[in-house]
């Protein structure tokens, strides 16, 4: 290693002394050899940083500082840049030295107990309290934000293997068996999908038999809106991006971290090629050059399914000049469900939302115009085009149009994904699709749109569930994650659970969200709520937060104050 000469001033003479090594953490040759061998011939591009961190974490079960230093040198990045990304995401285990230089590695196995609203209602907290003593010191048990299995609550991840409707015995059996990887359930493969007419629409579009402008008009006439929560009209989005200068890119959001939401997982586990065809149709219409699919890390089974489906697609492409499709893996950060934070993560950075304008459609991934879509939006494309815009628009109730996939969890007999008319009321949804309430439970309240969609009482159970119908009540439908509360639940407890989630998942970039979620949680944990201060915090968070997380985080608290004031009376607000 070259020595660095540092000149120093010495009275009476100009002398130099030699530093034995440069400043900063030195790269261990053995660690660099291990990293090189692990990465193989994979490109060392900045946008692959998170993928490379996953490779190291998967292999060693941790991210030790020598490997991070070696990765930084290998990728020609500053060590601080690598460390800040690795430390941002929940699923990366950084191994640090203590004051004496000793390294305490994490246990070989991590068990994540979901503490989302549905799992808490189903007994996750006692499970979380008892598992550490049951599993022993060699297993780390941690509380985890929603893992997207709300219909099977309480849910636990042993390594990457889900344990549904988890009990102590089931988790212990999974740990003992060493089952830490998820084996995907049977799914519709490429051959079966094509036998059912799959990819014919894509082929007609690619060959010119179907007109791209006609497809855009079909999507516009159908009224399909973005089903990730924002609800932007799909056809209009295609038209906007298509008008932007090439090269254009596409980013698909399957991060699905909103507590109560699991529809994308259910569809992807069963029929990945229907989604892939919709994705490729959108790419053909908007003439994008490459596609990036961002999948949350908790969905190991979905990752196996999607990896296999993409391999089938590449081995037997349904059209010539298939766009290159990149599958990117999240690392445990709810904020990356926000479109610009997802794009930052795909680029290998911390998932922090961008200020807008410019908007993603104009300046998105790698600075290029980007078509960003949620999984379910693309899942509907083939069926809408084959059956017609009038078929889709003709569905609906109470003056609304279209179909929605409702992720229903909580105190109902049949939780799960239910495809129902847009505009259905929660009472109709419970009675007609969910088999009614659980025995011994009476309908008390509901979350119409997941953690950020607010909380309403049963007395307001006849509001149509759709875009734009809930805003007058301080709520919104979002991704249609409906959580049903019974008379055995309390809205104040739900609000505490949700605000704890928002405080944990705030990226910390802006003060209103970072400080506001923490202060709000502190206040609502008190026996008596300071309603005036909570209202001030809510106003500041809504007006000044950069992204939707901070802007919507006050919704559950505001709804409790507005619709459940009896729970705030003396003695009812006790944690």
Structure tokens at 507: 């990226």
How many CB atoms are closer than 10 A to CB 126? Answer: 10
Mean pLDDT of 221-235: 93
Q: Is residue 131 predicted with pLDDT exceeding 80?
A: yes
CA atoms within 13 A on the CB side of 571: 0
Where residue 16 falls among pLDDT bands split at 50, 70, 90?
low
d(CA 16, CA 9): 8
pLDDT of residue 5: 45
Across 204-298, where does the E strand assignment appear?
A: 248-254, 288-295
How many CB atoms are closer than 10 A to CB 39? Answer: 18
- Confirm if 458 and 443 have CB atoms less than 8 A apart: yes
DSSP secondary structure letters along 70-97 = HHHHHHT--HHHHHHHHTTSTT--EE-B
Q: Give the β-pairing of 403-410 and 481-486.
A: parallel
d(CA 467, CA 438): 28
Where residue 178 falls among pLDDT bands split at 50, 70, 90?
confident
pLDDT of residue 24: 66
What is the dihedral angle through the alpha carbons of 309, 315, 320, 321, rounded to the nearest 10 degrees?
Answer: 80
Structure tokens at 105: 């590695």
For residue 390, give the nearest of 527, 506, 223 by alpha carbon: 223
Q: Is residue 35 predicted with pLDDT exceeding 60?
A: yes
Where residue 78 falls among pLDDT bands split at 50, 70, 90?
very high
Show Cβ contacts of residue 267 under 8 Å, excluding neighbours closer than 6 positions.
Answer: 274, 275, 375, 376, 379, 405, 417
SS3 content of the chain, % helix, strand, coil (to 5): 45, 15, 40
pLDDT digits over 87-120, tens only? 999 999 998 766 676 667 778 899 999 999 999 9
Which residue intervals of 271-330 are DSSP H helices? 272-286, 300-315
Q: Is residue 383 predicted with pLDDT exceeding 50?
A: yes
Where residue 22 falls among pLDDT bands split at 50, 70, 90?
low
Of residues 303 and 570, which shows the higher confidence score? 303
Where residue 23 falls among pLDDT bands split at 50, 70, 90?
low
What does the chain come to in residues?
575
d(CA 229, CA 4): 55
pLDDT digits over 334-374, tens only? 999 999 999 999 999 999 999 999 999 999 999 999 999 99
Mean pLDDT of 305-318: 97
Where residue 574 falls among pLDDT bands split at 50, 70, 90?
very low
pLDDT of residue 96: 72
Structure tokens at 138: 């060699």
pLDDT of residue 184: 76
pLDDT of residue 105: 75
- Confirm if 92 and 48 have CB atoms less than 8 A apart: no
For residue 549, give the nearest of 520, 524, 521, 512 by alpha carbon: 512
Structure tokens at 291: 């596609």
| Percent of residues, the chain, with pLDDT higher than 70 | 94
How many CB atoms are closer than 10 A to CB 3? Answer: 10
d(CA 551, CA 541): 6
pLDDT of residue 12: 47
How many CB atoms are closer than 10 A to CB 219? Answer: 26
Structure tokens at 465: 């569930």
Q: Is residue 575 predicted with pLDDT exceeding 50?
A: no
Region of 192 on the Ramachandran plot (φ > 0 left; ψ -120 to 50 alpha; else beta): alpha
Mean pLDDT of 44-71: 96
- Secondary structure letter of residue 226 according to DSSP: -
Mean pLDDT of 243-270: 97
d(CA 181, CA 353): 32
Rounded to 5 degrees, what angle do the CA atoms 125, 126, 128 make? 65
Where residue 21 falls among pLDDT bands split at 50, 70, 90?
low
pLDDT digits over 499-523, tens only? 999 999 999 999 999 999 999 999 9
pLDDT of residue 6: 44
Structure tokens at 298: 């908790």
Which residue intervals of 287-418 are DSSP H helices? 300-315, 339-346, 375-379, 381-387, 389-393
- Confirm if 259 and 117 have CB atoms less than 8 A apart: yes
pLDDT digits over 184-200, tens only? 778 999 999 999 999 99
pLDDT digits over 440-476, tens only? 999 999 999 999 999 999 999 999 999 999 999 999 9
3-state secondary structure of 301: helix
Of residues 512 and 8, which shows the higher confidence score? 512
pLDDT of residue 18: 58
């Amino acid at each position: 290693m070259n020595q660095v000469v540092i000149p120093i001033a010495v009275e009476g003479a100009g002398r130099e002394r030699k530093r034995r090594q440069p400043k900063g953490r030195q790269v261990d040759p053995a660690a660099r050899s291990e990293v090189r061998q692990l990465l193989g011939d994979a490109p060392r591009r900045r946008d692959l940083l998170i993928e490379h961190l996953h490779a190291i974490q998967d292999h060693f079960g941790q991210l030790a500082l020598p490997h991070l230093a070696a990765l930084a040198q290998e990728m020609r990045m500053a060590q601080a840049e690598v460390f800040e990304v690795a430390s941002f995401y929940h699923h990366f285990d950084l191994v640090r030295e203590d004051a004496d230089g000793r390294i305490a590695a994490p246990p070989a196995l991590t068990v994540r107990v979901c503490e989302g609203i549905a799992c808490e209602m189903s007994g996750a907290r006692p499970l979380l309290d008892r598992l550490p003593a049951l599993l022993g010191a060699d297993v780390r048990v941690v509380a985890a934000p929603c893992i997207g299995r709300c219909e099977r609550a309480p849910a636990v991840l042993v390594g990457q293997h889900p344990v549904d409707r988890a009990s102590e015995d089931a988790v212990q059996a999974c740990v003992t068996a060493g089952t830490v990887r998820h084996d995907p359930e049977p799914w519709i493969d490429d051959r079966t999908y094509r036998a059912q007419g799959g990819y014919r629409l894509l082929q007609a579009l690619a060959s010119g038999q179907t007109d791209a402008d006609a497809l855009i008009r079909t999507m516009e006439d159908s009224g399909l809106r973005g089903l990730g929560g924002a609800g932007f009209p799909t056809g209009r989005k295609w038209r906007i991006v298509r008008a932007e200068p090439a090269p254009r890119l596409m980013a698909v959001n399957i991060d699905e971290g909103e507590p109560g939401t699991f529809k994308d997982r259910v569809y992807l586990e069963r029929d990945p090629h229907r989604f892939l065809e919709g994705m490729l149709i959108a790419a053909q219409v908007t003439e994008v050059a490459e596609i990036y699919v961002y999948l949350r890390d908790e969905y190991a089974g979905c990752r196996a399914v999607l990896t296999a489906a993409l391999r089938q697609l590449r081995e037997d492409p349904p059209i010539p000049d298939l766009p290159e499709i990149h599958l990117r893996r999240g690392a445990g950060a709810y904020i990356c469900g926000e479109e610009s934070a997802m794009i930052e993560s795909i680029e290998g950075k911390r998932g922090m939302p961008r200020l807008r304008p410019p908007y993603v459609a104009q300046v998105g991934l790698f600075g290029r115009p980007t078509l960003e879509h949620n999984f379910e939006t693309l899942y509907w494309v083939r069926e809408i085009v084959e059956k017609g815009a009038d078929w889709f628009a003709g569905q609906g109730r109470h003056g609304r149009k279209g179909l929605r996939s409702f992720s229903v969890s909580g105190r109902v007999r049949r939780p799960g994904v239910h495809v129902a008319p847009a505009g259905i009321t929660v009472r109709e949804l419970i009675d007609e699709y969910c088999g009614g309430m659980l025995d011994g439970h009476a309908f008390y309240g509901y979350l119409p749109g997941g953690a950020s969609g607010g909380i309403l009482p049963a007395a307001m159970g006849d509001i149509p569930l759709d875009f734009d119908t809930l805003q007058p009540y301080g709520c919104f439908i979002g991704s249609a994650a409906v959580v049903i509360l019974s008379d055995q639940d309390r809205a104040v407890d739900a609000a505490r659970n949700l605000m704890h989630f928002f405080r944990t998942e705030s990226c910390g970039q802006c003060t209103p969200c970072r400080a506001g979620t923490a202060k709000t949680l502190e206040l609502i944990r008190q026996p008596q709520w300071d309603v005036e201060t909570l209202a001030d915090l809510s106003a500041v968070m809504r007006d000044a937060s950069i992204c939707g997380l901070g802007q919507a985080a006050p919704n559950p608290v505001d709804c409790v104050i507005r619709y459940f004031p009896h729970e705030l009376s003396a003695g009812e607000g006790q944690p």
